[in-house]
């Protein structure tokens, strides 16, 4: 495994802990090694020392000394200028040859691009030019690219075209870490591995779907990236569209990558692109001003470090999507994401239509509980079915109740960063949980027209929500004009007694 960007945040927080967890579970063979590549010059021993300190910080629980030694023996580092064709890539090639001999490693490589997207094509081109990317005699070369994959439709198309000049599609793994989350993967099992849900999962029974990815954190140290990206680009064409496609897609004919991707791509193509008028009507943007979270003062976005004082970047986005196909005609999918919300939670809510009230007209019941299925993605993972039950007593009264499934209670704690499954799948050549080129482009073609309108008409009211609130009032109106409302605080499944 060759990691470009080996001294960066992602490598220390996610990649090394994930490899450690995989090795601990016995999923990595002994003939394996990592070469970290960064701009800094450093000896392998110093890199290993740093890696060990980072593992201690980012892995909960005590680390295992034998495993740490196993790791240190297989971790190497080389540094230099990524633009320098000759020196750095020659060094990597020589180091890889030595490491392979030392650990008896077959001629298989995967390259992890934990570097800014502007360098993806360039670094890949240098790998290929230096003979490191060539597949021969059944050996493989795979390349994982971190998000963001482009910043609009045009740049995503160019990046795909540049990479496809150098590599085959099957060698390209466009990662979206939401697909590493257990509950997200469980969506397919929940929908297609059970017979009770699928028959009601359509416009005949579903009133609407709500998908929320709310974060309590602000932009932390990432102001310079975030201020050029914004909430829409950062979260919607990738993470949230993954949730939309897995919720809405038809059953694939098999679990192989192509069949799953084909069904996901069909949904992306069925999402109706907004006209400029629809953008004004069905898309809401917001930016947080100062406020309070958990009793503590929180600064405004414009006062965060590396953010422009007069920034017009949105930190909140909500859309009302229509999926123009047979199953979902007239069932809106409301999606939203925001920073500095009152709490961190991601969920998918499938809200069912009301039952007829006729039977209850001459009873004290004023209204019936509507049914919904809540799929909790984080921080609690689980599923809740919400329905009405008779309140005990001689009079007919109905009250809302919940039936819960909580992952933790049933399956116990899993040591996972969310990257384990994705790294493992790349090693075994399964790209099901990665994005295909056409999916990335289809996602951008939905989002780009909105971005165009937003950049042509700058927001006049930013900041328009307080840190610690649920976003701007327009986001509530997006639903309330059709008599609906966001479910803000999700039902948290009870822990088993
Ligand atoms: C990243 C975004 O892709 O996902 C971040 O760039 C965001 O802005 C993060 O905070 C959210 O991931 P998670 O797993 O914490 O929901």
What lies within 8 Å, CB to CB, of 181 at 6+ separation is 377, 378, 381, 418
What lies within 8 Å, CB to CB, of 424 at 6+ separation is 22, 27
pLDDT in the model for residue 412: 83
pLDDT in the model for residue 490: 65
- Alpha carbon distance 130, 435 (integer Å): 27
Angstrom distances, CA of residue 215 to CA of 95, 231, 329, 341: 42, 11, 30, 6
- Residue whose token pair is 């963001």: 148
Is residue 281 annotated as a catalytic residue, yes or no?
no
Q: How far is the CA of 149 from the centre of ligand 1 (A)?
A: 14
Q: Ligand 1 pocket, 304 CB below 6 A? A: no
Q: Ligand 1 pocket, 176 CB below 6 A? A: no
pLDDT in the model for residue 491: 63
- Residue whose token pair is 């602000």: 218
Q: Ligand 1 pocket, 381 CB below 6 A? A: no
Catalytic member of 151, 177, 208, 239: 239
**477 burial type by CB count under 10 A (0-12 exposed, 13-18 middle, 19+ buried):** exposed
Task: Indicate the pTM of the whole model.
Answer: 0.93
Question: In terms of Cα–Cα distance, which of 231, 323, 318 is closest to 270?
Answer: 323
Q: Which atom of ligand 1 is nearest to the CA of 222?
A: 8
Choice from 145, 151, 177, 316 to test ligand 1 binding pocket (greatest atom count within 8 A of CB): 177
pLDDT in the model for residue 83: 87
pLDDT in the model for residue 496: 43
Cis peptide, bond prior to residue 195, ω within 30 of zero:
no
- Alpha carbon distance 233, 447 (integer Å): 8
What lies within 8 Å, CB to CB, of 278 at 6+ separation is none
| The 3-state secondary structure of 67-110, one letter per residue | HHHHHHCCEEEEECCCCCCCHHHHHHHHHHHHHHHHHCCCCCEE
CA angle 359, 362, 367 (to 5 degrees): 65
Q: How far is the CA of 207 from the centre of ligand 1 (A)?
A: 29
pLDDT per position in the chain (497 positions), as tens?
A: 999 999 998 999 999 999 999 999 999 999 999 999 999 999 999 999 999 999 988 887 777 889 999 999 999 999 999 988 779 999 999 999 999 999 999 999 999 999 989 999 999 999 999 999 999 989 999 999 999 899 999 999 999 999 999 999 999 999 999 999 988 999 999 999 999 999 999 999 999 999 999 999 999 888 999 999 999 999 999 999 999 999 999 999 999 999 999 999 999 999 999 999 999 999 999 999 999 999 999 999 999 999 999 999 999 999 999 999 999 999 999 999 999 999 999 999 999 999 999 999 989 999 899 999 999 998 989 999 999 999 999 999 999 999 999 988 998 877 678 899 999 999 999 999 999 999 999 999 999 999 999 999 999 999 999 999 999 999 999 999 999 999 987 666 555 43
pLDDT in the model for residue 494: 56
- Alpha carbon distance 146, 334 (integer Å): 27
What lies within 8 Å, CB to CB, of 356 at 6+ separation is none
- Residue whose token pair is 């939309």: 244
Q: Ligand 1 pocket, 234 CB below 6 A? A: yes
pLDDT in the model for residue 497: 37
pLDDT in the model for residue 322: 98
Choice from 116, 222, 234 to test ligand 1 binding pocket (greatest atom count within 8 A of CB): 234
């Amino acid at each position: 495994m060759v990691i470009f960007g080996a001294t960066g945040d992602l490598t220390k927080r996610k990649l090394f802990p994930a490899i450690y967890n995989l090795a601990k579970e016995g999923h990595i063979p002994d003939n394996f090694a990592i070469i970290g590549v960064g701009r800094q010059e450093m000896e392998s021993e110093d890199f290993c020392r740093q890696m060990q300190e980072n593992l201690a910080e980012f892995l909960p629980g005590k680390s295992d000394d034998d495993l740490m030694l196993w790791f240190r023996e297989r971790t190497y580092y080389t540094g230099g200028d990524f633009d320098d064709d000759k020196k750095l890539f020659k060094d990597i090639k020589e180091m890889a040859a030595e490491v392979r001999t030392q650990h008896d490693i077959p001629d298989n490589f995967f390259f992890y691009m934990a570097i800014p997207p502007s360098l993806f094509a360039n670094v890949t081109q240098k790998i290929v030019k230096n003979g490191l990317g060539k597949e021969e005699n059944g050996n493989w070369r795979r390349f994982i690219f971190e998000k963001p994959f482009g910043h609009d439709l045009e740049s995503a198309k160019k990046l795909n075209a540049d990479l496809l000049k150098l590599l085959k599609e099957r060698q390209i793994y466009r990662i979206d870490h939401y697909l590493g989350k257990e509950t997200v993967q469980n969506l397919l099992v929940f929908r297609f591995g059970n017979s009770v849900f699928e028959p009601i999962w359509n416009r005949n029974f579903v009133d609407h779907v709500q998908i929320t990815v709310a974060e309590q954190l602000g932009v932390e140290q990432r102001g310079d990236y975030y201020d050029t990206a914004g909430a829409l680009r950062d979260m919607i064409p990738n993470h949230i569209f993954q949730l939309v496609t897995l919720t809405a897609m038809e059953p694939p004919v098999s679990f192989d990558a192509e069949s799953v991707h084909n069904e996901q791509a069909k949904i992306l193509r069925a999402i109706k692109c907004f006209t400029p008028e629809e953008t004004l009507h069905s898309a809401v943007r917001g930016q947080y001003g100062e406020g309070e979270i958990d009793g503590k003062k929180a600064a405004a976005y414009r006062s965060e470090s590396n953010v422009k004082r007069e920034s017009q970047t949105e930190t909140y986005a909500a859309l009302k999507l229509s999926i123009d196909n047979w199953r979902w005609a007239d069932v809106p999918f409301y999606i939203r994401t925001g920073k500095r919300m009152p709490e961190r939670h991601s969920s998918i809510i499938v809200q069912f239509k009301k039952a007829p009230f006729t039977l209850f007209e001459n009873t004290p019941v004023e209204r019936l509980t509507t049914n919904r299925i809540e799929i909790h993605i984080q921080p609690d993972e689980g599923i809740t079915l919400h329905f009405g039950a008779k309140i005990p007593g001689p009079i007919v009264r109905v009250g809302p109740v919940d039936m819960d499934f909580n992952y933790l209670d049933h399956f116990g704690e899993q040591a996972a960063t969310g990257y384990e499954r994705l790294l493992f799948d790349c090693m075994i050549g399964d790209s099901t949980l990665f994005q295909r080129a056409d999916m990335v482009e289809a996602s951008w073609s939905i989002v780009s027209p909105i971005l165009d309108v937003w950049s042509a008409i700058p927001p006049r009211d930013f900041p328009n929500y307080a840190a610690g609130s649920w976003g701007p009032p327009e986001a509530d109106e997006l639903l309330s004009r059709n008599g609906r409302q966001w479910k803000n605080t999700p039902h948290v499944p009870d822990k088993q007694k």
